[in-house]
Structure 1
Amino acid sequence: MKKIALNFALCASLFTIASCGESNNETTDSKEMAKDANEEKFDDTKVEDDTKWAVSAADAGMWEVEVGKLALKNGSAGEVKQFAQMMVDDHTAANKELMDMGAKKNITLPASISNDKQDRLTEMAKKTGHDFDVAYMDQMVDDHQKVLNMFKDEADNGKDADVKAWAASKVATLESHLQMAENGKKSVKDKK
């Protein structure tokens, strides 16, 4: 009887340890998991570069949607909320296009924003009103400069024709977003 109880306790301990290990995996960065999955699927380093780009583009697009939703809640200036709604709408549509293309090409894309972007979102959520407006528009200028360069580079140097064409098709929209973000940044800073 003691052996049965001991075996039962041992099994229960092993299940507890195993379940703890599983919950730890849930906090794994979705972006990193997608990159790892793609590395296992694609041997060609040229294709791998395009998949890494697609993972980064998906992460950036989801970030724009999430921080845009936050701006609708925490922002105060009308132009900030208007810009944020445009970010949510435009990037939601672009994210869907990218996800559809990824599915057709067997590219694994992240299901949620990366841990570093989640940390940035948490920091942004601490701000409200004018302070939020300034921080959000600053962030939008920085983000759109980086993402625009990233998309131009893929449009010029990508190896996969579909990924390359999709990136090229978004450049004009990103340029427009950057211009609006710069104007919005100036506008909210002038209100202080």
Structure 2
Amino acid sequence: MNKLMLAGAVVGLGAALAATPALAQSKQNRQEAKFVHDAIEGNFAEQSMGDLAQQNGQSQAIKDFGAELKRDHSAANDKVMPLSQQVGVRAPSEPSAKHKQDYEKLAKLSGARFDQAFAQHMVMDHKQDITKYQRAASGSGPVASYAQETLPVLQRHLATAQSLAGGNRGAMGAGSGSDMNMNGSASGSMGSGGNPSMGNGNSTGTGYGSGSSGGRVQQPQ
């Protein structure tokens, strides 16, 4: 009886050990499938955003950045699309619902307001993407290789977006000074009538006030 129990325990242990690599492999496959799916959606989203920047952007720098986004993310999708079959996921054909919401919000803006909001969105978006791509790049295989190849492109986009966001903040803080009083307070030009995420436009200068450099306008972080 004891021998039979011992034999059963050995068989059970062997089965458990054999199953461990299979479980790990299954988890890796799920992670790769999700990454590939999200990467394709993200590339479609950036192409759409690139078109929007060329249409609604005020500065040539924003328009040029939009063209760069569309070109680079179109090339990235050409590389990642074939991987969807390898990881067993159906490739999406358009951006996600969240990406579409972001697009619609930005599409309502124009001029300098669009330039600033677009640059800030690209900073946030590319920071998030870089984190995901770095995680995927730490593995091995075709999916990791794609992530490794694409990371430098995303990092370059982030640097450009950060530069544009900083430059646009400075441009939007400048003005004739007619809206500034002796204490440097201002009515924010992007206050309650503008995008609430860009500032509340109260009398303390929170938001994008139009004023001379002599006044102090608190810029958004």
TM-score range (shorter-chain normalised) is 0.7 to 0.9
Residue in 1 aligned with 2:191? none
Mapped contact 2:37–2:84 kept (Cα < 8 A)? no
Counterpart-to-counterpart distance in 1, 2:166 and 2:108: 22
Which TM-score applies when normalising by structure 2?
A: 0.64
Counterparts of 2:131 and 2:157 in 1: how far apart (Å)?
13
CA-CA distance at 1:110 after TM superposition? 1.0
* Higher RCO (C-alpha under 8 Å, 6+ residues apart): 1
Q: How many angstroms apart in 2 are the aligned matches of 1:53 and 1:89? A: 21
Pair 1:107-2:98 in alignment: no
Please name the residue that 1:138 is paired with: 120
| Structure with larger Rg | 2
1:178, CA displacement in angstroms? 0.8
Q: Is the 8 A contact 1:77 1:188 kept in 2?
A: no
> How many angstroms apart in 2 are the aligned matches of 1:172 and 1:118?
25
Check if 1:97 corresponds to 2:79. yes
Residue 56 of structure 1 deviates from its aligned partner by 1.1
CA distance in 2, matches of 1:113, 1:87: 15
Question: How big is each residue's C-alpha offset from its partner over 1:119-169, in whole Å with a ceiling of 9 and x where there is no partner?
Answer: 11111110011111001000000011110111011101x4x6100111011
The residue identity in structure 2 corresponding to 1:55 is: H
The residue identity in structure 1 corresponding to 2:150 is: K
Q: What's the counterpart of residue 65 of structure 1?
A: 47
Calculate the TM-score normalised by the size of structure 1: 0.73
| Counterparts of 2:105 and 2:123, CA distance in 1 | 17
Structure 1: gaps (5+ residues): 1-42
Q: Is residue 116 of structure 2 the alignment partner of residue 128 of structure 1?
A: no
Instruction: Select the structure that is richer in helix.
Output: 1
Match of 2:133 in 1: 151
* Aligned residue identity for 1:181: A
2:33·2:87 contact (CA, 8 Å) conserved in 1?
Answer: no
Please report how far the alpha carbon of residue 106 of structure 1 lies from its aligned counterpart in structure 2 after TM superposition: 4.0
Amino acid at match of 1:99: M
Root-mean-square deviation (CA), in Å? 1.5
Percent identity at matched positions? 24
Where has structure 1 moved over 4 Å in runs of 4 or more? none
For residue 168 of structure 2, what is the amino acid of its counterpart? V
Alignment partners' CA distance in 1, 2:97 and 2:152: 29
Query: In structure 2, the residue corresponding to 1:111 is in which secondary structure?
Result: coil
Report what 1:45 is aligned to.
27
1:174 aligns with 2:125: no
| Pairwise CA distance, 1:191 | 1.2
- Partners in 2 of 1:96 and 1:190 — Cα distance? 37
